[in-house]
Amino acid sequence: MTHAMFRALPALCALVALAGCGDQGGDPMRQYGADPYLPEPQNYLLPPMSVPKAVGWKPGETPTVTGGLKVQAMATGLMHPRIVYPLPNGDILVVEGNSPGTTPFRPKDFIQGKVKARAGTAGRGGNRITLLRDADGDGKPEDQTVLVDHLHSPYGVAYVDGTLYVANTDAIMAFKYALGQTKITEPGTKLADLPAGPIDHHWTKAMAASPDGSKLYVGVGSNSNITENGFDAEEGRAAIYQVDRQTGAKRIFASGTRNPTNLAVDPETGRLFVVVNERDEIGPDLVPDYLTMVQEGAFYGWPYSYWGQHVDVRVHPQRPDLVAKAVKPDYGLSSHVAALGLAFSKGETLSDKFSNGIFVGEHGSWDRSPVNGYQVIFVPLVNGRPEGKPVPVVTGFLGNDNDTVRGRPVGVALDRTGALLVADDTGNAIWRVSADQSGH
């Protein structure tokens, strides 16, 4: 069915000649940094799309890494791994989950779901957290166990002071947890509810603990691309929450963030950073996803505007008062890359080149031709702010012709040896990138 539809796509394009299927995106490098190139928004009958077919990794195949690094599979055969999270004792948690499943409302929803599924987004989530134990730090775990099972579309995870917090799509759960434990049997308790169904369009709930451990920050994505499911569905969404770890009381810390897919705290300054996925279907080069330091109380524009005061005419009624308040993010990541992973790299990590910056996992585009993302990049920090050109670190997720995709990077993290861990939800693997000691 999907295949037949893809063969029918060129015919559809011909049929609706003004559809803009041939609208090609430009050089993504123009859209990295503080001042991304922003073309005029377009209106399409059929937005530009290019969705590579998920084929997985053949035995022995790995992503490609830049010079001086090596890559190895740390775990394979997982169930849609999204987040990788090293614990203080060196054990590594892998959160395996996917969307709880949304009810299609519009004729378009039926078709769009099938299109995206081609690139592996429909893989069944494990709804569990797997623990990898690699005591000798060689990247080959001696032990792999299911730590917690029967979760509800989990994504964010944070360990603070004898408690493991798991952000299910509808609530933060707290599990009593002693480091070293390989299985949690005691049921968790609910710390706080989170906005979820109905619809639950952007279902992931990213999470990070504040430096003193007293608060949890949670990213809640919008319930639509651009309010097409109505304003009621957006109540309390597209925002970053601050949740008190003791009481579960929550408040909105920043808003207007369409889909805040990952959060991380700068270990030096204690500042909260976020990667946000921006809106679709107004052009291959609109709107750039972004990385930014989160300013408390700030409004980042969604749905009314993007990148400051660029009004989105698809939203009605409009709100010029809110547009005027919209804050520009710090650093554009180019359009439709679907930035999902975020990890600080400070000091002795992979190499000197990566001693002060941020790794970003780019899951890869669907609403763009040619495709964009499908890689892990490094963004340098200057005075605690992202600045300068990004460096591709892990690539080779796409087949040669960009028509197939072997894996897609999601969450990234650095383990205690400084190696970079990458969760791959289409290849169902965890990749470990480390310095190549062999001298090549």
- Strand partners for 116: none
Identify which range of 14-22, 235-243, 285-293, 346-354 contacts other proteins by CB under 8 A: 14-22
Indicate the residue among 14 and 249 with the shorter CB distance to other proteins: 14
Show the binding pattern over residues 196-235: x = contacts other proteins (CB under 8 A), - = does not: ----------------------------xxxxxxxx----
Between 146 and 311, name the residue whose CB sits nearer to other proteins: 311
Our finding on whether 131 is near other proteins (CB under 8 A) is no
Residue 105 Cβ vs other proteins, minimum distance, rounded to whole Å: 6
How many CB atoms sit inside 10 A of residue 72's CB?
A: 14
**CB closer to other proteins, 51 vs 405:** 51
With CB under 8 A as the rule, give the number of residues binding other proteins.
25
Is there binding between residue 23 and other proteins (CB under 8 A)?
A: no
Site string for other proteins, 142-181 (x = CB under 8 A): ----------------------------------------
First-to-last alpha carbon distance for the chain, in angstroms, is 47
The strand ranges marked E within 90-188 are: 92-96, 128-133, 143-148, 156-160, 163-167, 171-176
Comparing CB distances to other proteins, the nearer of 95 and 326 is 326
Beta bridge pairs of residue 382: 385
Q: Which is nearer to other proteins, 202 or 250 (CB)?
A: 202
Tell me whether residue 110 or residue 142 sits nearer to other proteins (CB atom).
Answer: 110
Note whether 399 binds other proteins by CB under 8 A. Answer: no
CB of 227 to other proteins, least distance (A): 5
- Closer to other proteins by Cβ: residue 11 or 178: 11
Distance CA 133, CA 384 (A): 33
Task: Return the range that interacts with other proteins (CB under 8 A); candidates 11-19, 127-135, 253-261, 350-358.
Answer: 11-19
Stretches 13-21, 90-98, 214-222, 371-379: which one binds other proteins (CB under 8 A)? Answer: 13-21
Q: Is 262 in the site for other proteins (CB under 8 A)?
A: no
Beta strands in 215-338 (DSSP E): 215-220, 239-244, 250-255, 259-265, 272-277, 288-293, 305-306, 310-311, 331-335
How many residues does the structure list for the chain? 440
Q: Give, as ranges, the residues between 41 and 70 that touch other proteins (CB under 8 A).
A: 43-46
Q: What is the DSSP letter of 173?
A: E
Of 84-92, 252-260, 267-275, 313-321, the segment contacting other proteins by CB under 8 A is 313-321
> Which pair of tokens denotes residue 189?
């308790």
Q: Within positions 95 to 114, which residues make up the interface with other proteins, using CB under 8 A?
A: 105-108
User: For residues 180 and 230, which CB has a smaller minimum distance to other proteins in the complex?
Assistant: 230
Nearest distance from C-beta of residue 301 to other proteins, angstroms: 15
CB atoms inside a 10 Å sphere around CB 271: 14
Query: Which long-range contacts does 348-355 make (Cβ < 8 Å, 24+ apart)?
Result: 348/418, 349/414, 349/418, 349/419, 349/420, 350/69, 350/393, 350/418, 350/419, 350/420, 350/433, 350/434, 350/435, 351/68, 351/69, 351/435, 353/378, 353/391, 354/378, 354/391, 354/393
* Class of residue 408 by CB neighbours under 10 A (exposed 0-12, middle 13-18, buried 19+): buried
Compare residues 12 and 135 and give the one whose CB is closer to other proteins.
12
Q: Which is nearer to other proteins, 225 or 262 (CB)?
A: 225
Rounded Cα distance between 263 and 7, Å, is 39
Beta carbon of residue 110, minimum distance to other proteins (angstroms, whole number): 10
CA dihedral 428, 261, 382, 351 (to 10 degrees): -10
Q: Which residues in 146-160 are b (16+ Cβ under 10 Å) and which e?
A: ebbeebbbbbbbbbb
In the DSSP assignment, the letter for residue 412 is: E
* Candidate residues 60, 77, 317, 439; the one interacting with other proteins per rule CB under 8 A: 317
Specify whether the CB–CB gap between 255 and 268 falls below 8 A: no
Minimum CB separation from other proteins for residue 229, in Å?
6
Q: In 54-67, which positions are buried (b, 16+ CB within 10 angstroms) versus exposed (e)?
A: bebbeeeebbebbe
Sign of CA dihedral 337, 343, 349, 355: positive
CB of 56 to other proteins, least distance (A): 31
Per CB under 8 A, residues contacting other proteins are: 15-16, 19, 43-46, 105-108, 224-231, 281, 313-317
